[in-house]
Protein backbone atom coordinates (compact mmCIF):
# COMPACT_ATOMS: atom_id res chain seq x y z
CA UNK A 1 0.00 0.00 0.00
CA UNK A 2 2.78 2.38 1.04
CA UNK A 3 4.81 1.53 -2.06
CA UNK A 4 1.80 2.22 -4.28
CA UNK A 5 1.28 5.59 -2.59
CA UNK A 6 4.94 6.53 -3.14
CA UNK A 7 4.77 5.46 -6.76
CA UNK A 8 1.62 7.59 -7.22
CA UNK A 9 3.38 10.61 -5.69
CA UNK A 10 6.40 10.14 -7.98
CA UNK A 11 4.09 10.02 -11.01
CA UNK A 12 2.27 13.19 -9.82
CA UNK A 13 5.61 14.90 -9.28
CA UNK A 14 6.87 13.91 -12.72
CA UNK A 15 3.68 15.05 -14.48
CA UNK A 16 3.58 18.36 -12.61
CA UNK A 17 7.17 19.19 -13.56
CA UNK A 18 6.50 18.15 -17.16
CA UNK A 19 3.41 20.38 -17.26
CA UNK A 20 5.41 23.33 -15.89
CA UNK A 21 7.87 22.92 -18.75
CA UNK A 22 5.09 22.47 -21.30
CA UNK A 23 3.18 25.52 -20.03
CA UNK A 24 6.19 27.74 -20.44
CA UNK A 25 7.12 26.34 -23.85
CA UNK A 26 10.52 24.98 -22.87
CA UNK A 27 10.17 22.01 -25.22
CA UNK A 28 9.10 23.99 -28.27
CA UNK A 29 11.77 24.83 -30.76
CA UNK A 30 11.21 26.17 -34.23
CA UNK A 31 13.56 26.92 -37.02
CA UNK A 32 12.50 29.07 -39.93
CA UNK A 33 14.49 30.39 -42.80
CA UNK A 34 13.12 33.20 -44.93
CA UNK A 35 14.55 35.46 -47.56
CA UNK A 36 13.24 38.92 -46.65
CA UNK A 37 14.56 42.25 -47.80
CA UNK A 38 13.97 45.11 -45.39
CA UNK A 39 12.67 48.47 -46.46
CA UNK A 40 13.54 51.28 -44.09
CA UNK A 41 13.33 55.04 -43.89
CA UNK A 42 14.04 57.42 -41.02
CA UNK A 43 12.22 60.72 -41.09
CA UNK A 44 13.88 63.38 -38.97
CA UNK A 45 12.42 66.77 -38.26
CA UNK A 46 14.24 69.73 -36.77
CA UNK A 47 13.41 73.36 -36.21
CA UNK A 48 14.92 76.28 -34.39
CA UNK A 49 13.60 79.74 -33.56
CA UNK A 50 14.99 82.97 -32.14
CA UNK A 51 13.37 86.12 -30.76
CA UNK A 52 14.26 89.48 -32.20
CA UNK A 53 16.35 91.39 -29.61
CA UNK A 54 13.39 93.69 -28.87
CA UNK A 55 11.00 90.79 -28.32
CA UNK A 56 13.60 89.12 -26.16
CA UNK A 57 13.73 92.25 -23.99
CA UNK A 58 9.99 92.14 -23.35
CA UNK A 59 6.94 94.00 -24.59
CA UNK A 60 6.96 97.43 -22.96
CA UNK A 61 4.12 99.93 -23.05
CA UNK A 62 6.03 102.76 -21.35
CA UNK A 63 4.48 105.43 -19.13
CA UNK A 64 0.80 105.94 -19.86
CA UNK A 65 -0.06 109.46 -18.74
CA UNK A 66 -3.66 109.88 -19.89
CA UNK A 67 -6.51 107.56 -19.04
CA UNK A 68 -8.47 105.93 -20.45
CA UNK A 69 -5.98 104.84 -23.04
CA UNK A 70 -7.11 102.78 -26.02
CA UNK A 71 -4.79 100.78 -28.26
CA UNK A 72 -1.60 101.98 -26.58
CA UNK A 73 1.23 100.80 -28.81
CA UNK A 74 4.01 98.62 -27.45
CA UNK A 75 7.29 100.56 -27.65
CA UNK A 76 8.67 98.69 -30.69
CA UNK A 77 5.43 98.29 -32.69
CA UNK A 78 6.80 100.70 -35.29
CA UNK A 79 10.50 100.68 -34.31
CA UNK A 80 11.83 98.89 -37.40
CA UNK A 81 12.89 100.20 -40.77
CA UNK A 82 10.08 102.02 -42.63
CA UNK A 83 8.03 101.84 -39.43
CA UNK A 84 7.83 98.07 -39.50
CA UNK A 85 7.61 96.19 -36.19
CA UNK A 86 10.68 95.14 -34.24
CA UNK A 87 8.82 92.28 -32.60
CA UNK A 88 9.44 89.13 -34.59
CA UNK A 89 10.54 85.52 -34.27
CA UNK A 90 12.99 84.13 -36.79
CA UNK A 91 12.92 80.55 -38.03
CA UNK A 92 16.44 79.28 -38.56
CA UNK A 93 17.68 78.18 -41.97
CA UNK A 94 18.99 75.14 -40.06
CA UNK A 95 15.58 73.52 -40.00
CA UNK A 96 13.65 71.26 -42.33
CA UNK A 97 9.99 71.93 -41.49
CA UNK A 98 7.78 75.01 -41.66
CA UNK A 99 6.87 76.29 -38.22
CA UNK A 100 3.56 77.29 -36.65
CA UNK A 101 3.55 79.64 -33.67
CA UNK A 102 1.31 79.65 -30.64
CA UNK A 103 1.00 82.45 -28.10
CA UNK A 104 -0.45 82.76 -24.61
CA UNK A 105 -0.21 84.88 -21.48
CA UNK A 106 0.62 83.26 -18.16
CA UNK A 107 -1.75 85.70 -16.37
CA UNK A 108 -3.41 89.08 -16.88
CA UNK A 109 -1.14 92.08 -16.37
CA UNK A 110 -0.85 92.31 -12.60
CA UNK A 111 0.77 94.93 -10.37
CA UNK A 112 2.97 94.15 -7.39
CA UNK A 113 -0.03 95.09 -5.21
CA UNK A 114 -2.09 92.48 -7.08
CA UNK A 115 -4.21 94.96 -9.00
CA UNK A 116 -5.22 93.26 -12.24
CA UNK A 117 -5.65 94.72 -15.69
CA UNK A 118 -8.09 92.35 -17.38
CA UNK A 119 -6.48 90.02 -19.91
CA UNK A 120 -8.83 91.17 -22.67
CA UNK A 121 -7.13 94.59 -22.54
CA UNK A 122 -3.90 93.21 -24.03
CA UNK A 123 -4.17 92.42 -27.72
CA UNK A 124 -1.88 91.36 -30.53
CA UNK A 125 -1.76 90.81 -34.24
CA UNK A 126 0.68 88.76 -36.30
CA UNK A 127 1.76 88.44 -39.89
CA UNK A 128 4.48 86.80 -41.96
CA UNK A 129 5.57 90.22 -43.19
CA UNK A 130 5.88 93.65 -41.65
CA UNK A 131 5.10 97.08 -43.08
CA UNK A 132 3.78 100.31 -41.62
CA UNK A 133 0.33 98.79 -41.39
CA UNK A 134 0.96 95.04 -41.26
CA UNK A 135 0.46 93.32 -38.74
CA UNK A 136 -2.86 95.14 -38.80
CA UNK A 137 -4.55 96.67 -35.79
CA UNK A 138 -7.83 95.64 -37.41
CA UNK A 139 -6.75 92.00 -36.95
CA UNK A 140 -6.05 92.41 -33.23
CA UNK A 141 -6.83 89.39 -31.08
CA UNK A 142 -7.28 89.31 -27.33
CA UNK A 143 -4.59 87.39 -25.45
CA UNK A 144 -5.75 84.29 -23.63
CA UNK A 145 -4.35 82.01 -20.97
CA UNK A 146 -4.47 79.10 -23.41
CA UNK A 147 -2.16 78.72 -26.37
CA UNK A 148 -3.63 80.08 -29.57
CA UNK A 149 -2.08 79.74 -33.00
CA UNK A 150 -0.81 82.93 -34.59
CA UNK A 151 1.48 82.48 -37.55
CA UNK A 152 1.33 79.33 -39.65
CA UNK A 153 3.74 77.65 -42.06
CA UNK A 154 6.65 80.01 -41.46
CA UNK A 155 9.42 78.52 -43.55
CA UNK A 156 13.09 78.29 -42.54
CA UNK A 157 14.93 81.61 -43.01
CA UNK A 158 11.74 83.64 -42.61
CA UNK A 159 10.07 85.39 -39.66
CA UNK A 160 6.74 85.86 -37.96
CA UNK A 161 5.99 89.49 -37.01
CA UNK A 162 3.91 90.80 -34.11
CA UNK A 163 2.39 94.03 -32.82
CA UNK A 164 0.90 94.48 -29.35
CA UNK A 165 -1.64 96.94 -28.00
CA UNK A 166 -3.00 97.71 -24.56
CA UNK A 167 -6.26 99.27 -23.41
CA UNK A 168 -6.27 100.86 -19.97
CA UNK A 169 -9.60 101.90 -18.42
CA UNK A 170 -9.78 105.22 -16.56
CA UNK A 171 -10.51 103.49 -13.27
CA UNK A 172 -7.41 101.28 -13.42
CA UNK A 173 -5.27 101.78 -10.28
CA UNK A 174 -1.82 103.22 -11.00
CA UNK A 175 1.25 100.99 -10.76
CA UNK A 176 3.62 98.79 -12.76
CA UNK A 177 1.79 95.86 -14.32
CA UNK A 178 3.58 92.77 -15.57
CA UNK A 179 2.99 89.32 -16.94
CA UNK A 180 4.76 86.82 -19.22
CA UNK A 181 3.89 85.95 -22.80
CA UNK A 182 4.93 82.54 -24.05
CA UNK A 183 5.62 81.83 -27.70
CA UNK A 184 5.86 78.25 -28.86
CA UNK A 185 7.19 77.07 -32.19
CA UNK A 186 6.07 73.69 -33.48
CA UNK A 187 6.08 71.68 -36.65
CA UNK A 188 3.45 73.05 -39.03
CA UNK A 189 0.10 71.30 -38.82
CA UNK A 190 0.50 70.28 -35.19
CA UNK A 191 -2.02 71.66 -32.71
CA UNK A 192 -0.88 73.99 -29.91
CA UNK B 1 38.56 118.53 -17.08
CA UNK B 2 40.03 115.05 -16.64
CA UNK B 3 36.98 114.13 -14.57
CA UNK B 4 34.80 115.40 -17.38
CA UNK B 5 36.62 113.22 -19.89
CA UNK B 6 36.24 110.20 -17.63
CA UNK B 7 32.55 110.90 -17.16
CA UNK B 8 32.12 111.38 -20.89
CA UNK B 9 34.01 108.13 -21.56
CA UNK B 10 31.85 106.26 -19.06
CA UNK B 11 28.73 107.75 -20.61
CA UNK B 12 29.81 106.65 -24.12
CA UNK B 13 30.64 103.17 -22.77
CA UNK B 14 27.23 102.84 -21.10
CA UNK B 15 25.45 104.03 -24.25
CA UNK B 16 27.47 101.55 -26.35
CA UNK B 17 26.67 98.75 -23.89
CA UNK B 18 22.97 99.63 -23.98
CA UNK B 19 23.04 99.54 -27.76
CA UNK B 20 24.87 96.20 -27.90
CA UNK B 21 23.04 94.39 -25.09
CA UNK B 22 19.57 94.45 -26.65
CA UNK B 23 21.06 92.93 -29.81
CA UNK B 24 21.81 89.77 -27.86
CA UNK B 25 19.08 87.16 -27.88
CA UNK B 26 19.35 83.42 -27.69
CA UNK B 27 17.47 80.81 -29.62
CA UNK B 28 16.49 77.22 -29.23
CA UNK B 29 16.00 74.24 -31.53
CA UNK B 30 14.71 70.69 -31.29
CA UNK B 31 15.39 67.68 -33.48
CA UNK B 32 13.39 64.46 -33.38
CA UNK B 33 12.84 61.36 -35.44
CA UNK B 34 9.98 59.76 -33.55
CA UNK B 35 6.52 61.13 -32.90
CA UNK B 36 4.96 58.01 -31.50
CA UNK B 37 6.25 54.96 -29.75
CA UNK B 38 4.73 51.56 -29.04
CA UNK B 39 5.55 50.24 -25.59
CA UNK B 40 4.18 47.06 -23.96
CA UNK B 41 2.27 47.86 -20.78
CA UNK B 42 4.25 47.91 -17.57
CA UNK B 43 7.63 48.23 -19.25
CA UNK B 44 10.28 50.91 -19.14
CA UNK B 45 11.52 52.54 -22.30
CA UNK B 46 13.80 55.48 -23.06
CA UNK B 47 13.54 58.09 -25.81
CA UNK B 48 16.17 60.51 -26.98
CA UNK B 49 15.52 63.99 -28.30
CA UNK B 50 18.14 66.42 -29.50
CA UNK B 51 18.45 70.13 -28.80
CA UNK B 52 20.48 72.61 -30.77
CA UNK B 53 21.12 76.31 -31.10
CA UNK B 54 22.32 77.60 -34.48
CA UNK B 55 22.13 81.19 -33.22
CA UNK B 56 25.10 83.38 -32.18
CA UNK B 57 24.37 83.34 -28.42
CA UNK B 58 24.54 80.35 -26.08
CA UNK B 59 21.28 79.45 -24.41
CA UNK B 60 20.05 77.59 -21.37
CA UNK B 61 17.16 75.28 -22.00
CA UNK B 62 14.84 73.23 -19.92
CA UNK B 63 12.97 70.15 -21.05
CA UNK B 64 9.36 69.76 -20.10
CA UNK B 65 6.74 67.15 -20.86
CA UNK B 66 3.11 67.98 -21.35
CA UNK B 67 0.77 67.16 -18.48
CA UNK B 68 -0.51 63.94 -20.03
CA UNK B 69 2.97 62.43 -20.06
CA UNK B 70 4.49 63.61 -16.78
CA UNK B 71 2.68 60.86 -14.88
CA UNK B 72 4.58 58.25 -16.92
CA UNK B 73 7.99 59.83 -16.47
CA UNK B 74 10.49 57.69 -14.58
CA UNK B 75 13.64 59.71 -15.13
CA UNK B 76 14.96 62.57 -17.20
CA UNK B 77 18.40 64.04 -17.64
CA UNK B 78 19.48 67.24 -15.88
CA UNK B 79 16.68 69.75 -15.96
CA UNK B 80 18.65 72.69 -17.31
CA UNK B 81 21.12 72.32 -20.16
CA UNK B 82 23.49 74.80 -21.70
CA UNK B 83 23.61 74.75 -25.49
CA UNK B 84 26.63 76.56 -26.88
CA UNK B 85 26.14 79.14 -29.60
CA UNK B 86 26.40 77.98 -33.23
CA UNK B 87 25.41 74.40 -32.36
CA UNK B 88 23.99 73.16 -35.63
CA UNK B 89 21.33 70.48 -36.01
CA UNK B 90 24.09 68.04 -36.99
CA UNK B 91 25.83 68.66 -33.68
CA UNK B 92 22.59 68.61 -31.67
CA UNK B 93 22.92 67.49 -28.06
CA UNK B 94 20.93 64.45 -26.99
CA UNK B 95 18.57 64.47 -24.04
CA UNK B 96 17.09 61.20 -22.84
CA UNK B 97 13.81 60.49 -21.08
CA UNK B 98 12.70 57.23 -19.60
CA UNK B 99 9.08 56.21 -19.25
CA UNK B 100 7.33 53.36 -17.57
CA UNK B 101 4.00 52.56 -19.08
CA UNK B 102 1.27 51.78 -16.58
CA UNK B 103 -0.76 48.58 -16.50
CA UNK B 104 -3.88 49.78 -18.24
CA UNK B 105 -5.58 46.74 -19.74
CA UNK B 106 -7.91 44.56 -17.70
CA UNK B 107 -6.83 41.01 -16.92
CA UNK B 108 -9.14 38.07 -16.26
CA UNK B 109 -7.77 36.45 -13.12
CA UNK B 110 -9.20 33.22 -11.70
CA UNK B 111 -7.68 33.42 -8.22
CA UNK B 112 -7.63 36.33 -5.73
CA UNK B 113 -7.88 38.87 -8.57
CA UNK B 114 -4.18 38.59 -9.35
CA UNK B 115 -3.33 34.91 -9.80
CA UNK B 116 -3.95 32.60 -12.77
CA UNK B 117 -4.58 35.53 -15.10
CA UNK B 118 -5.22 35.63 -18.82
CA UNK B 119 -5.32 38.62 -21.15
CA UNK B 120 -7.37 38.60 -24.35
CA UNK B 121 -6.58 42.18 -25.48
CA UNK B 122 -10.03 42.91 -26.86
CA UNK B 123 -9.91 46.58 -25.83
CA UNK B 124 -8.76 49.36 -28.11
CA UNK B 125 -5.16 50.45 -27.85
CA UNK B 126 -4.67 53.16 -25.21
CA UNK B 127 -2.70 56.26 -26.22
CA UNK B 128 -1.04 58.94 -24.15
CA UNK B 129 -0.83 61.93 -26.48
CA UNK B 130 1.44 64.77 -25.51
CA UNK B 131 4.51 66.68 -26.45
CA UNK B 132 8.09 67.32 -25.49
CA UNK B 133 8.78 71.02 -25.00
CA UNK B 134 12.17 72.72 -24.88
CA UNK B 135 11.94 76.07 -23.11
CA UNK B 136 14.60 78.75 -23.45
CA UNK B 137 15.51 80.34 -20.13
CA UNK B 138 16.49 83.99 -20.29
CA UNK B 139 19.58 84.90 -18.29
CA UNK B 140 18.32 88.36 -17.46
CA UNK B 141 14.86 89.60 -16.75
CA UNK B 142 13.50 91.99 -19.30
CA UNK B 143 13.79 95.65 -18.50
CA UNK B 144 10.54 97.16 -17.33
CA UNK B 145 9.46 100.73 -16.92
CA UNK B 146 6.47 103.01 -16.72
CA UNK B 147 3.27 101.05 -16.68
CA UNK B 148 5.26 97.83 -17.04
CA UNK B 149 4.67 95.26 -19.74
CA UNK B 150 5.09 91.63 -20.64
CA UNK B 151 8.25 89.58 -20.37
CA UNK B 152 8.60 86.97 -23.07
CA UNK B 153 9.48 83.30 -23.09
CA UNK B 154 10.01 81.02 -26.06
CA UNK B 155 9.86 77.31 -26.56
CA UNK B 156 9.81 74.72 -29.30
CA UNK B 157 7.99 71.45 -29.11
CA UNK B 158 7.72 68.06 -30.75
CA UNK B 159 4.65 65.83 -30.56
CA UNK B 160 4.94 62.54 -28.75
CA UNK B 161 2.26 59.88 -28.69
CA UNK B 162 2.91 56.94 -26.37
CA UNK B 163 0.88 53.91 -27.42
CA UNK B 164 0.57 51.24 -24.77
CA UNK B 165 0.62 47.78 -26.28
CA UNK B 166 -1.48 45.02 -24.76
CA UNK B 167 0.37 41.70 -24.63
CA UNK B 168 -2.15 38.88 -25.01
CA UNK B 169 -1.49 35.68 -23.08
CA UNK B 170 -3.37 32.57 -22.00
CA UNK B 171 -3.98 31.65 -18.41
CA UNK B 172 -0.73 30.28 -17.01
CA UNK B 173 -1.26 27.29 -14.76
CA UNK B 174 2.39 26.94 -13.81
CA UNK B 175 1.67 28.06 -10.26
CA UNK B 176 -0.91 25.26 -9.82
CA UNK B 177 1.53 22.68 -11.18
CA UNK B 178 4.29 23.95 -8.92
CA UNK B 179 1.98 23.68 -5.91
CA UNK B 180 0.91 20.14 -6.85
CA UNK B 181 4.54 19.12 -7.44
CA UNK B 182 5.56 20.64 -4.11
CA UNK B 183 2.75 18.88 -2.21
CA UNK B 184 3.53 15.58 -3.94
CA UNK B 185 7.25 16.01 -3.20
CA UNK B 186 6.62 16.81 0.48
CA UNK B 187 4.24 13.86 0.91
CA UNK B 188 6.76 11.59 -0.80
CA UNK B 189 9.57 12.84 1.40
CA UNK B 190 7.52 12.50 4.59
CA UNK B 191 6.53 8.99 3.63
CA UNK B 192 10.13 7.99 2.84
CA UNK B 193 11.38 9.45 6.13
CA UNK B 194 8.59 7.71 8.07
CA UNK B 195 9.46 4.43 6.41
CA UNK B 196 13.14 4.89 7.22
CA UNK B 197 12.38 5.65 10.89
CA UNK B 198 10.06 2.67 11.08
CA UNK B 199 12.79 0.42 9.65
CA UNK B 200 15.36 1.81 12.10
CA UNK B 201 13.02 1.14 15.07
CA UNK B 202 12.29 -2.32 13.80
CA UNK B 203 15.97 -3.17 13.43
CA UNK B 204 16.68 -1.79 16.97
CA UNK B 205 13.91 -4.01 18.38
CA UNK B 206 15.41 -7.03 16.61
CA UNK B 207 18.83 -6.29 18.10
CA UNK B 208 17.31 -5.93 21.62
CA UNK B 209 15.47 -9.25 21.25
CA UNK B 210 18.67 -11.02 20.20
CA UNK B 211 20.50 -9.69 23.28
DSSP B84-102: -TTB-GGGPEEEEEEEE--
Cα-Cα-Cα-Cα torsion B80, B84, B87, B92, nearest 10 degrees, comes to -30
B142 touches A58 (CB < 8 A): yes
Mean pLDDT of all residues belonging to chain A: 91
Cβ distance B154 to A90 less than 8 Å, yes or no, reads no
Cβ distance B31 to A44 less than 8 Å, yes or no, reads yes
Neighbours of A103 (CB within 10 A): 23
Instruction: Select from A36, A123, A144, A131 the least CA-distant residue to A81.
Output: A131
B132 touches B63 (CB < 8 A): yes
Q: What is the pLDDT of residue A90?
A: 97
B115 touches B109 (CB < 8 A): yes
- Whether the per-residue pLDDT at A89 is higher than 90: the answer is yes
- Whether the per-residue pLDDT at B19 is higher than 80: the answer is no
Q: What is the pLDDT of residue A99?
A: 98
Nearest CB to A46: which of B29, B55, B185? B29
Confidence of residue B142 (pLDDT cuts 50, 70, 90): very low
DSSP annotation of B14 reads H
Nearest CB to B184: which of A13, A24, A46? A13
Nearest CB to B188: which of A13, A50, A56? A13
Cβ distance B192 to A168 less than 8 Å, yes or no, reads no
Cα-Cα-Cα-Cα torsion A114, A120, A121, A125, nearest 10 degrees, comes to 130
b/e A57-68 (16+ beta carbons within 10 angstroms → b): bbbbbeebeeee
- Whether the per-residue pLDDT at B198 is higher than 90: the answer is no
> Choosing among A7, A24, A26, A46, which should be mutated to test the B contact, i.e. which has the most B CBs within 10 A?
A46
Section B88-109 average pLDDT: 88
Q: What is the pLDDT of residue B169?
A: 84
Question: Which range scores top for mean pLDDT: A123-137, B41-55, B120-134?
Answer: A123-137
How far apart CA A157 and CA B27 sit, in angstroms, is: 14
Confidence of residue B13 (pLDDT cuts 50, 70, 90): very low
A49 touches B29 (CB < 8 A): yes
Confidence of residue B118 (pLDDT cuts 50, 70, 90): confident
Residues 6+ away with beta carbon under 8 Å from A98: A91, A153, A154, A155, A156, A187, A188
Cβ distance A181 to B151 less than 8 Å, yes or no, reads yes
Q: Is B199 helix (H, G, I), strand (E, B) or coil?
A: helix
B38 touches B99 (CB < 8 A): no
Q: Tell me, yes or no, if B105 comes closer than 8 A to chain A by beta carbon.
A: no
Indicate the range of A167-181, B9-23, B98-112, B113-127 predicted with least confidence: B9-23
Round the CA-based radius of gyration of chain A to a whole number and report it: 33
How crowded is the C-beta side of A115, counted as CA atoms within 13 Å? 14
- Whether the per-residue pLDDT at A154 is higher than 70: the answer is yes
Distance from CA of A68 to the nearest CA of B (A): 13
Q: What is the pLDDT of residue A173?
A: 95
DSSP A53-122: HHHHT-EE-----SSSEEEEEPTTTT-SGGG--SEEEEEPSS-SS-EEEEEEESSSEEETT--EE-GGGE
- Whether the per-residue pLDDT at B144 is higher than 60: the answer is no
* End-to-end CA separation in angstroms for chain A: 80
b/e B105-144 (16+ beta carbons within 10 angstroms → b): beeeeeeeeeeebebeeeeeeeebebbbbbbbebeeebeb
Instruction: Please give the residue of chain A at the shortest CA–CA distance from B26.
Output: A50
Q: Is the pTM of this model over 0.90?
A: no
Residues 6+ away with beta carbon under 8 Å from A82: A131, A132
Q: Tell me, yes or no, if B178 comes closer than 8 A to chain A by beta carbon.
A: yes
Read off φ and ψ for residue B117, nearest 5 degrees: -95, 150
How far apart CA B125 and CA B12 sit, in angstroms, is: 66
Cβ distance A46 to B143 less than 8 Å, yes or no, reads no
Cβ distance B25 to A19 less than 8 Å, yes or no, reads no
Nearest CB to B156: which of A23, A55, A185? A185
Distance from CA of B119 to the nearest CA of A (A): 16
A49 touches A91 (CB < 8 A): yes
pLDDT one-digit tens code per residue, B47-97: 889 999 999 999 999 888 888 888 887 777 666 889 999 999 999 999 888
Mean pLDDT of all residues belonging to chain B: 81
How far apart CA A1 and CA A7 sit, in angstroms, is: 10
Q: What is the pLDDT of residue B166?
A: 92
How far apart CA B159 and CA A97 sit, in angstroms, is: 14
Confidence of residue A80 (pLDDT cuts 50, 70, 90): very high
- Whether the per-residue pLDDT at B133 is higher than 60: the answer is yes
Chain B, window 34-73: residues with a beta carbon less than 8 angstroms from a chain A beta carbon: 50, 52-55
Nearest CB to B195: which of A2, A59, A177? A2
Cβ distance B148 to A109 less than 8 Å, yes or no, reads yes
Amino acid sequence: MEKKFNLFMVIVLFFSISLIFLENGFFIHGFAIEGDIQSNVTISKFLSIEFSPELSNGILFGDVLFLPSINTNASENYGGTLDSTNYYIQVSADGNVPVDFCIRANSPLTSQYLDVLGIDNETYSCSNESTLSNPFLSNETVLTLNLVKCGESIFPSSSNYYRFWLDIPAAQPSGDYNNTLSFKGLSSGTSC
Amino acid sequence: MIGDKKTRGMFVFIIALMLVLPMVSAGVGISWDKESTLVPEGTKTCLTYKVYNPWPTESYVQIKLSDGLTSLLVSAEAETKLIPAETSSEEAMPITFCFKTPTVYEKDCALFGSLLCKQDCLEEMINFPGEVEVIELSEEEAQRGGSGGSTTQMSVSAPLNIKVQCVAHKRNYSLVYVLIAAIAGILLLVNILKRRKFKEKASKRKIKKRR
